[in-house]
Every structure is written in C-alpha cells, then in structure tokens.
Structure 1
Amino acid sequence: MGFAGFGERLVDFYDGLEADNSKPYWTDHRAVYEEHVRAPMVALLAELEPEFGPGKIFRPYRDVRFSPDKTPYKTHCGATVGGYYVQAGADGIMIAGGYYHMAGDQISRYRVAVDEQRRGEDLRRRLDAIGGAELTRAGDLLATRPRGVDPGHPRLELLRHRSLYAWRRCPGEELMLSPKLVDEVAGTWRTITPLIEWLTDHVGPTEQPRR
C-alpha cells in the first residue's frame, strides 16, 4: 500500500511518551507505535525509494551510555536515506539533509576543500541557493577559527563547521497526516541535493575504523 499519511494517534502517542518515558508506557502502547508511526514511515520510505534509494528507520531506543538524560525512548521517529533525513513527532515533520556528524578525517577533507577558492566558493553558492529556498543552514561550529587559519579568511565561517546540513520544519498535523507529505519531502530533498553532492564529492564517508 502507498503512503496515506502518518496515523492519527501519532501525536497522542508521543505526547504521552514525553509525559511518561518509561518501559511500562512503551510496552502498553507498542501497538500504537507500530501502526501509527513505524508502518507509515516504512510506506513513506518506499514511496521515496525509486528516486532517492532505500531508507533506514532509526531504532526508537536512545543511546544513554554517555548522556546525563537517561530516558530510554526517543520522542520522535527518524529515518535516513543516505545523507537525507526525515523525522515525525508530536511537533510535526522535520526534513533535512547533509552531514550531521563528521569524523576527524572527514573534517580534514572538508576544510581542505573549503579553503580552496574554487571548491569553497562552489559550496557557498550552493548554500546561498538553499537558504533562498527557506531552508536553515546548521551544524556544529568551532567556538573560534581552526588552528592555523587566517582570521581574515573569506570563508572563515564555513571553515568553522564540524558538521553541515540544511533543514526545515513543517509544524502541525495537517501535512503529517496527509499523503501530500511524500511530495513535500521529495521536493525538499531535491533542494538539498546540491549540498549532499558537494559533501559526497569532496568529503565522502569516514575511513576511520568504527569503535
């Protein structure tokens, strides 16, 4: 079956989870999650797959090993297709794309590319076009400039990035519960594609071994 929208009980499910983020709540409402959250996300990814490729839904369990927040469950459902991302929760839909995290070797390649006039200005132009499409540029930034970088570097702000992505939020339930969400996600991902292509060409995946 095609994507018909997320289930109408999604908002109540996540509102309840925010109020009671516990295993008993999750166990009691697992069927709601499967029917109103996960199954629609599977259907959404299936609709997008012919153009963007197969997707992966993130596990609903939080990694609390190094976090002071020990609540066990995420209060949204997120999925990724390569560098693209979509998320559904009580506050609506978030659509994004880029590199949310870069390992050390990726950051090094990114800075080399940004420092170079041709590649760095190409990235700036792509980001300007994305900003004109009402998407927000974001990422983890160094508090100061990278070591050895001239404080007058014309692309200093870009060089400070340790991750780089663009995103937009679609608040409310109307779009989230509608089959029109497929076109909204696809259109936003197409707008972000030039950024992902730049990152793929000049940064690429990490070559560092996984821990």
Structure 2
Amino acid sequence: MVEFTGFPVAALDFYDDLEVDNTKSFWDAHKAVYDDAVRAPMVALTDALAPEFGEAKVFRPYRDVRFAKDKTPYKTHQGAFVAVAPATGWYVEVAAPGVRVGGGIYHAGGAQLGAIREAMADKRAGAVLQRILRDLERGGFELGGERLKTAPRGYEKDHPRIELLKMKSVLGSRKYGFEPFVHTAELLDKVRDDWRRLRPLVSWLAEHGEA
C-alpha cells in the first residue's frame, strides 16, 4: 500500500486550470498530473482509512453528460465515498477550493426516507438525532441537505421536530480549504478524526434507514 503524504499543490492547481479549460485536449495534455497528484493520493488516503471505515469508491473523473445541459466532459473535483447503507456514509473531496470532508445521507427516497422520517418523529430516536446534529454544529461542522419547504405528507406542521422531518438528506461537512496540512500526511489524521466525529450521524441514519 502506498503511503499517503498529502495532496500536492499541483492537485489544486490542476482543478483551477480545469475549471477554465474543461476540454479533452487539456485533459489529455495533463492526465499524468491527474493520475499522480489527484487520483494516486486519493487512493492512498482511502486505503489508509479502509481498515477502520471500509473500502471507498473513488469516483471516476468523467461526467455523465447524456441528459445534462452542461456538456463539459470532466468533473471539477475528485471525490471518494465509503458507503455503509444506500447513499449513507463518509465522503472526502479535493477540488480547486481545497479539501473537504463530510458524512451522512445524500439521497433518500421511498421506503428508506419513510423509515428515517418515522425515526425522526419518534420522541426518543428523534431527540438522539437532534443531539447528534447539535454536537456536530458546536464542533464546527456545517449542517446541510435537501429540505422540503413545508411538512411532509402525513405529518403536522406543528410537529415538535418538524425541522428534522423536512429534511430529505442529512449531511455534516467541514472544509479544510487551503490549510497547509492538506499537503502533508497530517491530512490523514484530520480526515480520520472528523469521520469518527461523524460516525454517530452515519450510524443513526444507517440504523433507522432500514425499511
């Protein structure tokens, strides 16, 4: 296993340039930079985290443009995701703005969303999730996710946990940006520590999302 030593400055520069010139000619001319400065460190990082969190999916750099208005062929970030349940797990990404990490559920639908909402509505389980989210926010994480504008069908607008029930996805994230440590092996410790802090959220969603 290759040792993780951080993302080089060249990784961020690569995405700066790709945002300006998102073409096959640019990609072909700089693919070696992508392979060496972006993908290889991402694989090394996720390999180092795998014994504790599980194997990651390192996403392909190519966009699916079949039904998109934006026909630019390449993603302007490199992400990796460790799944513990459908659409539920931990995330890490490098892009022009730097590095960020996250965890939670990025898309829930049908029976999975219904089961999560039932748990949110439950007094005890819902209170646990509220406490988890409050602790994350106090710990410096940003909370986000897709939300309904009004109460979901079957729930009253004055439900005591209505703000939870409006959530269609639940995410906690932290941006490292251009901090010097993203270019060093210290980044591994930062990601590991934040994924551990996100574990209660990921575990709650995985447990209660079972239909």
Which of the numbers 185, 188, 207 marks the counterpart of 2:194? 188
> Are 1:107 and 2:113 counterparts?
yes
Structure 1 CA distance for aligned equivalents of residues 154 and 197 of structure 2: 34
The worse-fitting range, judged by mean Cα deviation, of 191-200 and 102-111 is 102-111
Q: 1:39 is matched by which residue type in structure 2? A: A
- Which residue identity lines up with residue 58 of structure 2 in the other structure? I
Aligned equivalents of 1:115, 1:125: Cα separation in 2: 14
Deviates more, 1:152-161 or 1:172-181: 172-181
Give the structure 2 partner of residue 98 of structure 1.
104
TM-score by length of 1: 0.93
Which of residues 148, 154, 174 in structure 1 aligns to 2:154?
Answer: 148
Shift of 1:137: 1.1
> Which of 175, 186, 193 is equivalent to 2:181?
175
Does the aligned pair in 1 maintain the 2:150–2:157 contact within 8 Å? no
Q: CA 1:105 to 1:65, structure 2 compared with 1: closer, same or farther past 3 Å?
A: farther
Q: Report the more deviating stretch, 7-16 or 84-93.
A: 7-16
Task: Report the alpha carbon displacement of residue 109 of structure 1 after superposing the two structures with TM.
Answer: 0.8
User: Which residue of 2 is the match for residue 25 of structure 1?
Assistant: 26
Partner residue, 1:123? 129
Q: TM-score, normalised by structure 2?
A: 0.93
The one-letter code sitting in structure 2 at the alignment partner of 1:72 is P
Letter in 1 for 2:24: K
Secondary structure (helix, strand or coil) at the match of 1:196 reads helix
Shift of 1:173: 5.2
Contact 1:7–1:35 (Cα < 8 Å) also in 2: no
SS of aligned partner of 1:149: coil
In structure 2, the residue matched to 1:10 is 11
| Cα offset, 1:73, TM superposition | 0.6
Pairs aligned (count): 205
Residue 164 of structure 2 is aligned with which of 158, 161, 177? 158
Give the percent of matched residue pairs that are identical in Structure 1 and Structure 2.
46
- Superposed displacement of residue 197, structure 1: 0.7
Q: In 2, distance between residues paired with 1:53 and 1:180?
A: 20
Matched residues in 1 for 2:78 and 2:154: separation? Answer: 41
Letter in 2 for 1:85: Y
Partner of 2:92: 86
Query: RMSD over aligned Cα, in angstroms?
Result: 1.2
3-state secondary structure, aligned to 2:49: helix
24-33 vs 64-73, which deviates more? Answer: 64-73
Aligned partners of 1:147, 1:65: CA distance in 2, in Å? 33
Alignment of 1:31-110 (within 5 A): 31-82=32-83, 83-110=89-116
List alignment gaps of at least 5 residues for structure 1.
none
Query: Is contact 2:12–2:94 with CA below 8 Å preserved after alignment?
Result: no
User: Per-residue deviation at 1:64?
Assistant: 2.1
Tell whether the 8 Å contact from 1:110 to 1:203 is kept in structure 2 after alignment. Answer: yes
